[in-house]
């Protein structure tokens, strides 16, 4: 058979192991959609983890996990970079910028969001007293820096949605759900105007919208897990 | 006139700074090194990294970048034609990034408590750190370096263990990376430290020992 008659090799199948309500899985779904990658969704019950998940993410045993032709990629922002590189084709939007300096800047802000915003935010929701005040203060200081960083831009990277927006997605759709469930108001009226505007832009984006979990279901989900989060966070804070 | 050239803001005893120097040296890039007194940070450092105010900071033609692993990836991309630091294949890159995160987010916090722990508490934290490093070791399996035949991104990220962990072991009396517990990692330490550009950027071991001894005494008496 000559090479021109050989069938084109079918692209390796893509599966995404996810769980309801995860902002980390959301990041990956948006990334896959931006690149136009078809995939099969495997939804986990994290209270009863599947062999598939445990086999492919033995280190963290968490979602999301991307399976590309049977090979696993773990850690949501690592997966997003992988999706950006492995599935890029001519017409697809870039998730990370192409310029090295801009890429470094995007990675810096994604890390800042993870370490200085999301981590203390989570801890502030499920603690009380002195510890809670400390985490809330740290979160708010970081949100102020982030707000300033937006500086009138539509998205963190400029006109188009990208890596840093995905990194910050929790702040757009999950923050007020957490505040409601935890009974703790972190963001006051009128605070962080740029971030609020960005949150509206992000959640109304035509691609993002398809992957935002229903708000009422999110509230029910986090409320059902509130005690578990509280004891996990208490243990983590004690170890510090 | 536009600022030209490469500057690294660092601190002589910082393992995170050495990552950046290794990357630059592998690429054959000349740079100016600025040593900071972290108790009295320079105006330049604060101007270049107002957000976290930490070292290392790389300044390339006047443009600053912070966070050591991010700087290393930047160096690889900015000097693309030179020595390749990141793997070529996207899947291998994802694996390298995964393990770098695991090391910095899980192993480093597991190592820090060893510094001030004593007695039974020390035994416990050493064991936990060894578990972490054992997991990391799986990324090495059968290879000369984490990057394969040659030093790559993950070697640069983890390489500080090879020079700093023996110092911490001597200062604390703990045994962490031993032939029994972590044979692959121990063997990699020797291979890594034999690389010329690695040796060239290491801080003096005696100086490091003295500084760490003093710091430990200070922390234990506090």
Q: Are A185 and A227 in contact (CB under 8 A)?
A: no
Tokens of A49: 């983890």
For the segment A147-190, what is each residue's pLDDT rounded down to a tens digit? 999 988 999 989 999 999 999 999 999 999 999 999 999 999 99
Q: Are A14 and A38 in contact (CB under 8 A)?
A: yes
- The answer to whether the Cβ–Cβ distance between B97 and A75 falls below 8 Å is yes
Ramachandran bin of A36, using left for φ above 0, alpha for ψ from -120 to 50, beta for the remaining angles: left
Q: Residue A1: its pLDDT value, please? A: 47
Kindly give the parts of chain B with pLDDT less than 70.
1
Q: Are B96 and B81 in contact (CB under 8 A)?
A: no
For the segment A110-132, what is each residue's pLDDT rounded down to a tens digit? 999 999 999 999 999 999 999 99
Between CA B62 and CA B50 the distance in angstroms is: 15
From chain B, pick out residues whose CB is under 8 angstroms from the CB of A73.
91, 94-95, 98
What ranges do the domains of chain B cover? 6-78, 90-221
Lowest mean pLDDT among A5-9, A32-36, A88-92: A5-9
- Number of residue pairs across A and B with CB atoms under 8 Å? 58
Helix (H) or strand (E) holding A44: strand A40-44
Residue A3 pLDDT exceeds 90: no
Those residues with Cβ within 8 angstroms of residue B37's Cβ, 6 or more apart along the chain or in another chain: B11
- B70 → closest Cβ in A59, A79, A111: A111
DSSP reduced 3-state for B90? helix
Region A210-214 average pLDDT: 97
Closest CA in chain A for residue B77? A100
Q: Are B156 and B72 in contact (CB under 8 A)?
A: yes
- B65 → closest Cβ in A71, A104, A145: A104
Region A30-57 average pLDDT: 96
Instruction: Kindly report the three-state secondary structure assignment for every residue of A142-194.
Output: HHHHHHHHHCCCCECCECCCCHHHHHCHHHHHHHHHHHHHHCCCCCCCCCCHH
Class of CATH domain A100-238: mainly alpha
pLDDT confidence tier of residue A238, bands split at 50, 70 and 90: confident
Residue A207 pLDDT exceeds 70: yes
Q: Residue A11: its pLDDT value, please? A: 81
Q: Are B48 and B29 in contact (CB under 8 A)?
A: no
DSSP state for residue B154 in the 8-state scheme: H
Residue range(s) in chain A whose domain bears CATH number 3.40.30.10 = 14-87
Closest CA in chain B for residue A68? B91
Class of CATH domain B6-78: alpha beta
Closest CA in chain B for residue A102? B74
User: Percent of chain A at pLDDT above 70?
Assistant: 96
Residue range(s) in chain A whose domain bears CATH number 1.20.1050.10 = 100-238
ipTM field: 0.96
Q: Residue B141: its pLDDT value, please? A: 85
Q: Which residues of B touch chain A, with CB atoms under 8 Å apart?
A: 51-52, 60, 63, 65-67, 70-71, 73-74, 77-78, 90-91, 93-95, 97-98, 101-102, 135
Q: Return the CATH fold of B90-221.
A: Glutathione S-transferase Yfyf (Class Pi); Chain A, domain 2 (1.20.1050)
Domain A14-87 sits in which CATH superfamily? Answer: Glutaredoxin (3.40.30.10)
Closest CA in chain A for residue B89? A86
Between CA B39 and CA B48 the distance in angstroms is: 17
């Amino acid at each position: 058979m000559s090479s021109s008659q050989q069938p084109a090799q079918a692209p390796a199948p893509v599966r995404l192991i996810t769980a309801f309500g995860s902002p980390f899985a959301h990041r990956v779904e948006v990334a896959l959609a931006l690149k136009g990658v078809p995939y099969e969704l495997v939804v986990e019950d994290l209270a009863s983890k599947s062999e598939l998940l445990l086999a492919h993410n033995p280190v963290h045993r968490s979602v999301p996990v991307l399976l590309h032709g049977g090979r696993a990629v773990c850690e949501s922002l690592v997966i997003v970079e992988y999706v950006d590189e492995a599935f890029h084709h001519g017409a697809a939007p870039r998730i990370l910028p192409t310029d090295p300096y801009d890429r470094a800047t995007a990675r810096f802000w994604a890390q800042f969001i993870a370490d200085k915003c999301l981590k203390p935010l989570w801890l502030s929701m499920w603690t009380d007293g002195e510890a809670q005040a400390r985490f809330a203060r740290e979160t708010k200081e970081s949100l102020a820096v982030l707000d300033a960083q937006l500086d009138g831009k539509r998205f963190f990277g400029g006109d188009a949605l990208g890596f840093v927006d995905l990194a910050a997605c929790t702040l757009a759709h999950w923050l007020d759900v957490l505040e409601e469930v935890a009974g703790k108001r972190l963001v006051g009226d009128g605070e962080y105007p740029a971030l609020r505007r960005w949150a509206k832009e992000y959640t109304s984006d035509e691609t993002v919208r398809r992957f935002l979990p229903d708000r009422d279901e999110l509230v029910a989900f986090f409320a059902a897990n509130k005690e578990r989060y509280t004891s996990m966070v208490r243990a983590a804070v004690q170890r510090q | 006139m536009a600022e030209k050239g490469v500057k690294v803001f660092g601190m002589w005893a910082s393992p995170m700074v050495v990552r950046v120097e290794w990357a630059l040296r592998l690429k054959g890039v000349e740079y100016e090194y600025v040593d900071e007194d972290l108790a009295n940070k320079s105006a330049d450092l604060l101007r270049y990294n107002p957000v976290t105010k930490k070292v290392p900071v790389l300044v390339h033609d006047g443009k600053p970048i912070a966070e050591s692993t991010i700087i290393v990836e930047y160096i690889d991309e900015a000097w693309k034609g030179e020595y390749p630091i990141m793997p070529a294949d996207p899947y291998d890159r994802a694996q390298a990034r995964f393990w770098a995160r695991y090391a910095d987010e899980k192993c480093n916090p597991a190592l820090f408590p060893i510094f001030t722990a004593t007695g039974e508490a020390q035994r416990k934290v050493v064991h936990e750190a060894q578990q972490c490093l054992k997991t990391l070791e799986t990324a090495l399996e059968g290879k000369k370096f984490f990057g394969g035949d040659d030093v790559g991104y993950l070697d640069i990220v983890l390489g500080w263990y090879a020079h700093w962990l023996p110092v911490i072991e001597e200062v604390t009396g703990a045994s962490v990376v031993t032939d029994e517990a972590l044979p692959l990692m121990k063997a990699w330490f020797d291979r890594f430290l034999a690389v010329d550009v690695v040796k060239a950027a290491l801080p003096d071991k005696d100086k490091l020992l003295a500084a760490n001894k003093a710091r430990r005494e200070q922390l234990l008496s506090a």
